[in-house]
Chain A
Amino acid sequence: MHELGITQSIVDIAIKTAREQNAVKVLSVSVEIGELSGVVADAVEFCFEACIQETFLQGCRLIIEQIPGRGLCDECGAEVKIDSMTFACSECGSYALQRTQGEELNIKELEIE
């Protein structure tokens, strides 16, 4: 359940940023989670509810943008869609896939009052 630690990072960064901006309230926090990041968005959502209790973020909404995985094949040069269980290029079958997208794990934006 490493999602708990990840979620705590979301909460810590959001509170710190909101305080720096002299916010009175945080309405929403937007994050992007890549599908190849090894972090389960549902679990983050679950942890978020627990983590914000009795903090400055209480009542705040979590908006998760999931980024699909993409890869570039070193063998045939195709740009293909991949998920965490795909290891072979869907065009030529080679395993020489470089991940180009889907490992994101970022906090993007806060909506504050």
Chain B
Amino acid sequence: MCIDCGCAEPDHNHKHDHEKTRKIRVEESLLAKNDRLAAVNRTLFNAAGLLTLNLVSSPGSGKTTLLEKTLTDLNGRYNFAILEGDQQTANDADRIAATGAPVHQINTGAGCHLDAHMVGHGVEQFDLEATDILMIENVGNLVCPASFDLGEDLKVVVLSTTEGEDKPVKYPQMFRAAKLMIINKTDLLPYLDFDIAKCRAYALQVNPSLTILELSCRSGEGLDSWYRWLESASAEKRKNNEMRS
């Protein structure tokens, strides 16, 4: 038996192909490229001292409406900049532009999420030094955007009452990655079977430290709690920036 390869050939003339081969250790994260670019974005955002939120949800939960409301109601209190991610159209950017806030639309084409590279280029035209809060509205998708760090301070997941209360346990990755969950369209609760207590319980199972707010962009109910949350998140960011500098 050949001691090199263990074959049983008596006439041992075959080549040992494996002798030419070698193994190379690589040990690199598959998200390393995105993570590197996200770190660059984060450094840029921190240097400019702004709070950056990555808004994620399924399509149609009301992210754009929440932004429109926020920009209108808090006009003059903060300087916002908005990045809009969608596969196609500039419809959302047009809606945001109507509020007067600076906005840039990123179309991902076939892509199902924003990545750090797109965001890095997307913010180029904003005056970040003059911005207090950068909102990134991700592509409507409860799966893929969970894995891609954009350099944000935190993810805000929006869930609407028409979607069913079990979304947090169906898409745990996203609800685990978020710091804040907004339950939107609470004005529709009387017409739906949506169990809000169950929804909260599911969300906390997946992520025990998740903050949860309930609101309706349509009726305005609960929006004040979101504005208070924004105020404290923005204040905390400013405080951290001062400690760093």
* A9, B33: Cβ atoms closer than 8 Å: yes
* B22, A111: Cβ atoms closer than 8 Å: yes
Q: Does B7 contact A (CB under 8 A)?
A: no
Whole-angstrom distance between the alpha carbons of A41 and B204 in the complex? 28
**Contact residues in A for B48 (Cβ distance below 8 Å):** none
Q: Does B29 contact A (CB under 8 A)?
A: yes
Residues of B in contact (CB 8 Å), total: 30
Whole-angstrom distance between the alpha carbons of A2 and B204 in the complex? 26
Given known pairs A5-B115, A9-B31, A110-B26, the reply for A87 and B205 (CB within 8 Å) is yes
* A1, B172: Cβ atoms closer than 8 Å: no
Whole-angstrom distance between the alpha carbons of A111 and B21 in the complex? 7
Q: Does B87 contact A (CB under 8 A)?
A: no
Residue of B28, B32, B148, B208 with most chain A CB atoms under a 10 A cut-off: B28
**Contact residues in B for A13 (Cβ distance below 8 Å):** 26, 28, 30, 32
Q: Does B123 contact A (CB under 8 A)?
A: no
**Contact residues in B for A84 (Cβ distance below 8 Å):** 172-173
Residues of A in contact (CB 8 Å), total: 32
Interface on chain B toward A: helix, strand, loop, or mixed SS?
A: mixed
- In the complex, how many angstroms separate the beta carbon of A59 from the nearest chain B beta carbon? 14
* B208, A95: Cβ atoms closer than 8 Å: yes
What residue in chain B is nearest A17 (Cβ atoms)?
B26
Residue of B25, B26, B144, B205 with most chain A CB atoms under a 10 A cut-off: B26
* A106, B20: Cβ atoms closer than 8 Å: no
- In the complex, how many angstroms separate the beta carbon of B145 from the nearest chain A beta carbon? 8
What residue in chain B is nearest A105 (Cβ atoms)?
B30
Whole-angstrom distance between the alpha carbons of A113 and B23 in the complex? 9
* B29, A38: Cβ atoms closer than 8 Å: no
**Contact residues in A for B230 (Cβ distance below 8 Å):** none
* B173, A106: Cβ atoms closer than 8 Å: no
Residues 1-27 (chain A) with a chain B CB within 8 angstroms: 1-2, 5-6, 9-10, 12-14, 17-18, 21, 27
The interface bits of chain A over 83-98 (1 if a CB of B lies within 8 angstroms of the residue's CB, else 0) are 0110110000001100
Extra pairs beyond A2-B112, A13-B26 (5, CB < 8 Å): A87-B169, A110-B24, A111-B23, A112-B21, A112-B22
Q: Could you list some 13 contacts between A and B, CB below 8 A? A: A2-B144, A6-B147, A9-B31, A9-B32, A38-B143, A38-B146, A85-B169, A87-B169, A106-B28, A107-B28, A108-B25, A110-B26, A112-B22
Chain B residues in contact with chain A, CB under 8 A? 20-33, 111-113, 115, 143-144, 146-148, 169, 172-173, 204-206, 208
Chain A residues in contact with chain B, CB under 8 A? 1-2, 5-6, 9-10, 12-14, 17-18, 21, 27, 31, 37-39, 84-85, 87-88, 95-96, 105-113
